[in-house]
Amino acid sequence: MRSDTVIFSGQGDHADPWHDLPATSAALADLLGPPGSVTVVTEVDQLKTALAGARLLVVNATAYRLEPVPEDAVFAATVADFLAGGGGLLAMHSATVAFPGDPTWRATIGAVWEHGRTFHPDIEPNLVRRTEVAHPIADGLGDFEVIDERYTDLDLVDDLTPVYVHASGPAVWAREVGGGRVVYDAFGHDLRSYASPGHVALVRRAADWLRGAH
């Protein structure tokens, strides 16, 4: 049976020493659908097959490198094809660090981590505020608190319109790219992030929109 939602959970070249991606990917799978409706994939070469029939790709990955690897180009092509077919992409937290060899990744998700400039304070409670931007991913939702890292001074695209902000800048945004829909959520460092009811509600709402429910 094909899954409606596929989570790419990074490992090897798509992981780092600071993020427990298996744990946070499992948490995402639990909150995004009943058992059997979500597939977790850890290899780039598994993605294209896994995405057949899926409506949502969640990228929960990062990188501990500055140079490209051949898989970066394979991933980029797979994502471009998925979006061109009307798929939805949810990029979580450290996805801004992932795929440093993919020149299209910033334009796709709206931001990347710029080494030497971007940083985050220590994990702490954060108040995440809704902006005045009206969007289906936030309809009926308000501000929320989350214990997490606060990514600061990301390299943002020019046309970004945040739906949520934290004390240091944009935190969550939604956009349409290449025929599909994209949401970036700057939170999700560890399981404490998914203990926030407000954050969980936002992730679920974003997934609904990305799957085409709104």
Whether 160 and 173 have beta carbons less than 8 Å apart is answered as: yes
pLDDT of 1: 56
Residue 133 CB partners (closer than 8 Å, separation 6+):
161, 162, 163
One pLDDT digit (tens) per residue for the chain, 214 residues: 578 999 999 999 999 999 999 999 999 999 999 877 899 999 999 999 999 999 999 999 999 999 999 999 999 999 999 999 999 999 999 999 999 979 899 999 999 999 999 999 999 999 999 999 999 999 999 999 999 999 999 999 999 999 999 999 999 999 999 999 999 999 999 999 999 999 999 999 999 999 995 4
Cα gap 38→15, rounded to integer Å: 21
- CATH architecture of structural domain 5-210: 3-Layer(aba) Sandwich (3.40)
pLDDT of 186: 99
What residue ranges do the domains of the chain occupy? 5-210
Please count the CA atoms within 13 angstroms of the CA of 136 that sit on its side-chain side.
15
pLDDT of 213: 57
pLDDT of 207: 98
Tell me if the pTM is above 0.75: yes
Within a 10 A sphere around the Cβ of 72, how many other Cβ atoms?
23
pLDDT of 36: 78
Cα gap 107→75, rounded to integer Å: 14
